[in-house]
Amino acid sequence: MANQRKDWGQSVRKYYPPVVPLFVPATRPDLIAKAARSGADAIIVDLEDAVPGAEKSSARLAIRTELAGHTVPVIVRVNAVDTPWFDEDLALVRDVQVDGIMLPKTQSPEDVSKVGEDIPVIGLIETARGVASLPSICCSPNLRQLAFGSIDYALDIGCVETRDALLLARLSLVNHSRAFDLPPPLDGITVSVDNEDIIRSDTKYAAQLGFSGKLAIHPKQVRIIDDALHPSEADIVWAELICAADRKSKGAAVLLDGRIIDAPVVKKAKRILQRAHTL
């Protein structure tokens, strides 16, 4: 159950939920320091999809000295637990003391338990089995957040990568995160790097569903995603008016512009201001 989960502050390693984590291929250790200066609030060093099988060992060796000492958290996307590379990936993570791992193809609590309770895990949900197993996955004591692997999920169930086709999976991640006292999940990547309109639209859509962040695959995407997740000026003005009315009424329900302002509305306004860093 959710109350079995360790508090972040009591964990061997603290975990701070990122908003715009940026992937860096483990084959390019020179990009790790650049990623730390990109504006992303976490780096995900990718040992999985970005690294061919024949290069896994050399990639581990190349990144070993590049993982520590950065100003933003460093997370390693290891290979899935059923691959021949998982054990060595995990050994590297334990040696270098990164801030956590992203576990691809998370499909069961047994997958998460193979990591060990001292390492924070972002469970990457990429299959129908993973979505169906969310109630048990979310009970894992070392699970700190969920993320959606939209491309692999669409491949797994044989659907087109449209918003309608992926809606059930996305809402499942959001709902289970809330039910099991996890931070809101991270949405999957947008493959377009240069089309700002698509990146912004995808990000705003994810935020409307309840995602708190989105995975980035290129530094160009970081600012666009961050801006899209930030409340608009109109939202901030509305939230400030609501909070001002609430203070004036001392918490009692009150009419504002013909609409009732009560506790849920005030809570929504405060959440907007918190996201905007003005509260």
Q: Are residues 259 and 137 in the same domain?
A: no
Q: Are residues 172 and 245 in the same domain?
A: no
Residue 13 pLDDT level (bands cut at 50, 70, 90): low
Q: Are residues 207 and 220 in the same domain?
A: yes
3-class DSSP assignment, residue 77: strand
pLDDT given for residue 262 in this prediction:
83
Of 193, 213, 229, the last residue of a domain is 229
Q: Confirm if 161 and 190 have CB atoms less than 8 A apart.
A: no
pLDDT given for residue 6 in this prediction:
41
Q: Are residues 9 and 138 in the same domain?
A: yes
Rounded-to-integer distance, Cα 73 and Cα 45, Å:
11
> Residue 113: CA atoms inside 13 Å, Cβ hemisphere, count?
7
pLDDT given for residue 5 in this prediction:
41
Q: Kindly compute the dihedral angle of the four CA atoms of residues 131, 42, 78, 181, in this order, to the nearest 10 degrees.
A: -30
Q: Are residues 155 and 241 in the same domain?
A: no
**pLDDT higher than 60, residue 2:** no
The DSSP code sequence of 108-146 is SHHHHHTT-TTS-EEEEE-SHHHHHTHHHHTT-TTEEEE
When pLDDT is averaged across residues 79-99 and rounded to a whole number, the result is: 94
Q: Are residues 91 and 14 in the same domain?
A: yes
Q: Confirm if 214 and 187 have CB atoms less than 8 A apart.
A: yes
Q: Confirm if 150 and 189 have CB atoms less than 8 A apart.
A: yes
Q: Are residues 65 and 171 in the same domain?
A: yes
Q: Among 33-37, 240-244, 271-275, which is the least confidently predicted range?
A: 271-275
Of 192, 212, 229, the last residue of a domain is 229
> Residue 87: CA atoms inside 13 Å, Cβ hemisphere, count?
1
Q: Which residues contact 125 (CB under 8 A, 6 or more apart)?
A: 106, 131, 134, 137, 146, 147, 148, 149, 153, 169, 173
Q: Give residue 240's domain range.
A: 233-275
Q: Are residues 83 and 187 in the same domain?
A: yes
Q: Are residues 13 and 150 in the same domain?
A: yes
Q: Are residues 21 and 131 in the same domain?
A: yes
Q: Are residues 183 and 241 in the same domain?
A: no
Rounded-to-integer distance, Cα 221 and Cα 254, Å:
42
Tell whether pTM > 0.95: no
Q: Are residues 136 and 242 in the same domain?
A: no
Quick one: angle between helices 196-209 and 219-229, nearest 10? 40
Rounded-to-integer distance, Cα 40 and Cα 48, Å:
20
Total tally of structural domains belonging to the chain: 2
Q: Which residue has the higher pLDDT, 71 or 212?
A: 212
